Structure formats: structure tokens, C-alpha cells
């Protein structure tokens, strides 16, 4: 009987200890902030100084926020557009209007990206400008190739 109580209390103690350890790691785990692979590559390709690297990081952050906003709007419009396939009546927004809105978002995305490259070019020194072509080529080559660029591990996000 004493052994049964011992094992019972030991099991409960170990369970509480495990829950405590798991909770501790979940609360204190913040993840390490490291540049995304593209940003790290850009720092190397463009030969950026530490100050330029911080400035570049700010530009990238703003650009990504703008692109996420546009991607969300595009996703919503695409859902509406392809929702017409399932619609029983055609009383919702005309498909041509949705297509025009989707095209407008694509134009905005291209314009924002062009503006982003212009901002990057402005922060470069004359010695770094020749590397811009390689940088833009690398960025364009990696666009839309998620299989070549897998998501970073969760602890690095």
C-alpha cells in the first residue's frame, strides 16, 4: 500500500514538473531575430555597411508590410472572383470589375517594388551601385520559388 501511494505521488509530482517546464519554455521562448535569407544575401551582394544594413532592414520591413497589405486585398478579390463559379445568381460584383481591381493591385505591387529598388539604390555609395544589378537579378530569380526557399524554422521567425 505504501508503494502504491509512493508511485501515485511521484507520478503526480513528475506530471506537474513536466507541465511547469513546458510552460516555462513556452513563456520565455521569444525566437531569435535574424535577417531573412534574402536580406542576408542582399547584405553580402551589395556589400552594405552596418549602418546601411539597418537602413536596408527598415526599407525591407516597410516594403513587406505594404506587399502583405496588397496580397491580402488581392486574396480577398480572388476569392470573390472565383466565388462566381459557385454563385447561383450573377447579382454580385461583375467579374470584369473584379479583374480590373486585381490588375490594379498588380500594378501597385510592381510600382511599390520599383520604388523599393529606387530607395535601395539611393542609399548605396557609388562603389556599391554596380552590385545593384546582381541584387535585382537575384531577387527576381527567387520570386515565386517557395520550394527553393523554404520557410525558416519556427524558432528563427
The predicted-structure confidence for 116-130, as pLDDT tens digits, reads as follows 999 999 999 999 999
pLDDT of residue 92: 58
pLDDT of residue 106: 95
pLDDT of residue 34: 45
pLDDT level of residue 114 (50, 70, 90 thresholds): very high
Q: Which three cell numbers stand for residue 110?
A: 510592381
**Cβ(45)–Cβ(135) under 8 Å?**
yes
Q: Which residues contact 156 (CB under 8 A, 6 or more apart)?
A: 31, 32, 34
Cα 68 from Cα 123, distance rounded (Å) = 24
pTM, two decimal places: 0.62
Domains in the chain: boundaries:
49-145
Q: Which of 29-38, 42-51, 53-62, 95-104 has the lowest mean pLDDT?
A: 29-38
Cα 76 from Cα 70, distance rounded (Å) = 10
**Cβ(41)–Cβ(136) under 8 Å?**
no
Number of Cβ within 10 Å of residue 120's Cβ equals: 23
Cα 95 from Cα 93, distance rounded (Å) = 6
25-50 pLDDT, tens digit each: 888 876 555 444 456 788 889 999 99
**Cβ(52)–Cβ(123) under 8 Å?**
yes
Q: Which three cell numbers stand for residue 132?
A: 545593384
Q: Which three cell numbers stand for residue 109?
A: 505591387
DSSP-derived letter for residue 144 is T
Q: Which three cell numbers stand for residue 41?
A: 544575401
Mean pLDDT computed over 48-62? 92
Average pLDDT over all residues of the chain: 83
Cα 140 from Cα 117, distance rounded (Å) = 12
49-145 carries CATH number 1.20.120: yes
Mean pLDDT computed over 124-146? 84
Amino acid at each position: 500500500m505504501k508503494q502504491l501511494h509512493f508511485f501515485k505521488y511521484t507520478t503526480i509530482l513528475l506530471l506537474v514538473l513536466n507541465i511547469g517546464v513546458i510552460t516555462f519554455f513556452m513563456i520565455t521562448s521569444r525566437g531569435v531575430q535574424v535577417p531573412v535569407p534574402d536580406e542576408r544575401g542582399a547584405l553580402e551582394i551589395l556589400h552594405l555597411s552596418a549602418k546601411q544594413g539597418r537602413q536596408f532592414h527598415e526599407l525591407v520591413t516597410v516594403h513587406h508590410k505594404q506587399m502583405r497589405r496588397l496580397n491580402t486585398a488581392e486574396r480577398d478579390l480572388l476569392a470573390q472572383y472565383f466565388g462566381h463559379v459557385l454563385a447561383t445568381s450573377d447579382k454580385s460584383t461583375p467579374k470584369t470589375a473584379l479583374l480590373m481591381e486585381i490588375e490594379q493591385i498588380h500594378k501597385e505591387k510592381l510600382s511599390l517594388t520599383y520604388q523599393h529598388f529606387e530607395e535601395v539604390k539611393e542609399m548605396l555609395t557609388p562603389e556599391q551601385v554596380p552590385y545593384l544589378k546582381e541584387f535585382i537579378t537575384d531577387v527576381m530569380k527567387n520570386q515565386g520559388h517557395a520550394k527553393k526557399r523554404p520557410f525558416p524554422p519556427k524558432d528563427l521567425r
